[in-house]
Structure 1
Amino acid sequence: MDVILGIKLRDCVIIATSKAATRGISVLRADDDKTRQLSEHSLMAFTGESGDTVQFAEYIQANIQLYDIRENYELSPSAIASFTRNELAKSLRSRKPYQVNVLIGGYDTVKKETKLNWLDYLGTNIELPYAAHGYAAFYTTSLLDRHYREDLNTEEGLELLKLCVKELETRMPVDFKGLLVKIIDNDGVRVVDF
């Protein structure tokens, strides 16, 4: 029942995740954060089996931070997505593969551009202008196809996200307890009051 959305804009990336943590038909928490900050300018949103998601996200976060400490160099969002894809692909060949779908958004401080990568549990990695996992993909993809433009600024991106939320609230039979929205830009990662 998770909602994971990402929109790449001209100057930032917007990542939105549902606040509800569910198990079956029960809502366990109404303030869950399904994201992990991987570096100063990159963020990972995840969905999937509850144990796998947290364990995998913390594993990726720890390895990215370890690389940053050892090399004194922040990995680009593309490099982080490549590392994450490699870890998902390796786990697929193990006895207990991770059942995790991921969005990685970030701002490349060297190239001065935004990045949004869509990864699934099979190790597929693709860079997209907008992406969704979970039930959000069923209801918002056509809306994003229709209204997305490459030159959107932050305010216009948040308005597009509001259209997506309205569609989700109308169509989804479950209350996902609202969205936690984070923006990644040149200044880093910040939470937006949405």
Structure 2
Amino acid sequence: MGVIGDPGDAAQFAQFVSKNTQLYKMKNGYPLDTAAVVHFTRKSLAGSLREGKPTMVNMLLAGYNEKTGGELYTIDFLASCVKVPYAVHGFGGHVCLGILDKYYSPRLSESEGYEALKSCIQEIHQRLFVNLRNFQVKSISKSGVKVLPVINPATFIAGK
């Protein structure tokens, strides 16, 4: 789960979703699948919006399901939700969409996806005034969550 938005809302809401999914597993003996977590998250965001106390967060929620494979959902602060093959958030996301359009395919390998992410981050560093030194990358598959090597500006220099 990736959450951006107001720092207080983002931290509180991410913890709320995480703890409630853990509670569900403890009470029922089995975990929620990705679509169920997305539904719970969307319902919670919509409820806060109706109460007049909107939670100002945008989210990327991903998971793996044995029946459907990998799933990625994007949820915005208005509780609209869509299943997508890839997604980006933030100002740098506008720069990355074209790169992801170019490189995405349903059969993309982990290493090809990692290289596409490196291209995105390199483009963000070239076009935008940012001082983010390290980008942590994680891969989600049926084997679980795998931490990939950190991407930083030194990676771009070494690759040239």
Q: Distance in 1 between matches of 2:87 and 2:140?
A: 15
SS at match of 1:133: coil
Structure 2 counterpart of 1:55: 12
Provide the alpha-carbon RMSD of the alignment: 1.2
TM-score by length of 2: 0.89
Q: Distance in 1 between matches of 2:63 and 2:52?
A: 32
Matched AA of 1:77:
T
Shift of 1:192: 1.5
- Answer yes or no: is 1:171 the counterpart of 2:116: no
Shift of 1:71: 0.9
Larger relative CO (CA 8 A, sep 6+): 1 or 2?
1
Structure 2 counterpart of 1:9: none
Listed one character per residue, the Cα deviations across residues 80-108 of structure 1 (whole Å, up to 9, x for unaligned) are 11111111111111232100000001111
Q: Extract unaligned runs of 5+ from structure 1.
A: 1-43
Question: Which protein has the bigger strand share?
Answer: 1
Which shifted more, 58-67 or 85-94? 85-94
Which shifted more, 117-126 or 70-79? 70-79
Matched AA of 1:103:
L
Listed one character per residue, the Cα deviations across residues 149-185 of structure 1 (whole Å, up to 9, x for unaligned) are 1110111111111111111111111212321111111
Matched AA of 2:81:
N
Matched AA of 1:166:
Q
Structure 2 counterpart of 1:118: 74
Shift of 1:112: 5.3
Question: Equivalent pairs: percent with the same residue?
Answer: 38
SS at match of 1:116: strand
Displacement over 2 Å in runs of 4+: none
TM-score by length of 1: 0.74
Matched AA of 2:126:
T
Please identify the structure whose Cα radius of gyration is greater: 2
Q: Extract unaligned runs of 5+ from structure 2.
A: 151-160
Structure 2 counterpart of 1:180: 136
Listed one character per residue, the Cα deviations across residues 18-67 of structure 1 (whole Å, up to 9, x for unaligned) are xxxxxxxxxxxxxxxxxxxxxxxxxx100000000000000000100001
Q: Distance in 2 between matches of 1:112 and 1:122?
A: 27
